[in-house]
Amino acid sequence: MQYKRILLKLSGEALMGQKQYGIDPRRLSEYANDIREIAEKGVQVAIVIGGGNIFRGVAGASNGMDRVQGDHMGMLATVINGLALQSALENTGVQTRLQSAIHINEVAEPFIRRRAIRHLEKGRVVIFGGGTGNPYFTTDSAAVLRAIEIDADVILKGTRVDGIYTSDPEKDENATKFDYITFDDVLKKGLKVMDTTAFTLSQENELPIIVFDMNKKGNLYKVVSGEKVGTKVNL
């Protein structure tokens, strides 16, 4: 395997599968099996999941809700998704730990960096819930922050698109895909990979990002093995 320790970023919307909201058990099971496959090969796996399938703080704020309250609701949504993924993974025989940036001691450990690293070293999959624990920060920022803290080799951003394109491939049939692109070129071209805060943090810490289609079975294994799947963002 090319990568020994990874941070896998999943969007909450990805868990919806074919549903309009909530969690699709089939999609959850597919993800769990893909993650188990690489964990069994000795890859240390940490995961950050969004909460957009349940609630989005920004959307709530646009409808008149207090932004801080909305973001706190979004953080709780990520914990719900984390619990769902934890259950799915354990059903496949994978040992997991769910750590939360907000204290919910009855359902998740508090995030403690050294404890998280120790879990990874013991072969457990660690799921980070609660975002960064602060409003106004996205789960993209949480993913980059946690990846840096645990000294991950790479951030794998699993999406429903197979990489980074010149424009939205779902709207523009002439969009072309990048196999490789630098951080500077992403910024110059105004491409949307992550929110600006998260992307800049990744660039400053020289942490590569690979964007790939998580919904295609076997892609996660291929990426971790070093095969050319998706788009790699590097210096």
Sequence letter at residue 212 = F
pLDDT value at position 141? 97
Torsion of CA 130, 46, 167, 198, to 10 degrees: 50
pTM, to two decimals: 0.94
pLDDT value at position 169? 84
pLDDT value at position 165? 94
Sequence letter at residue 210 = I
- Give the domain CATH number at 88: 3.40.1160.10
Number of H helices, E strands in the chain: 8, 11
* Tens-level pLDDT at each residue, the chain (235 residues): 899 999 999 999 889 988 888 999 999 999 999 999 999 999 999 999 999 999 876 776 677 889 999 999 999 999 999 999 999 999 999 999 999 999 999 999 999 999 999 999 999 999 999 999 999 999 999 999 999 999 999 999 999 889 999 988 888 888 999 999 999 999 999 998 999 999 999 999 999 999 999 999 999 999 999 999 999 999 8
Give the number of domains in the chain: 1
pLDDT value at position 140? 96
pLDDT value at position 118? 98
pLDDT value at position 198? 95
pLDDT value at position 60? 67
Distance, CA of 45 to chain centre? 11
pLDDT value at position 172? 86
Structure tokens at 224: 């971790």
- Residue from 134, 127, 118, 141 nearest 201 by CA: 141
What residues make up the domain containing 41? 5-234
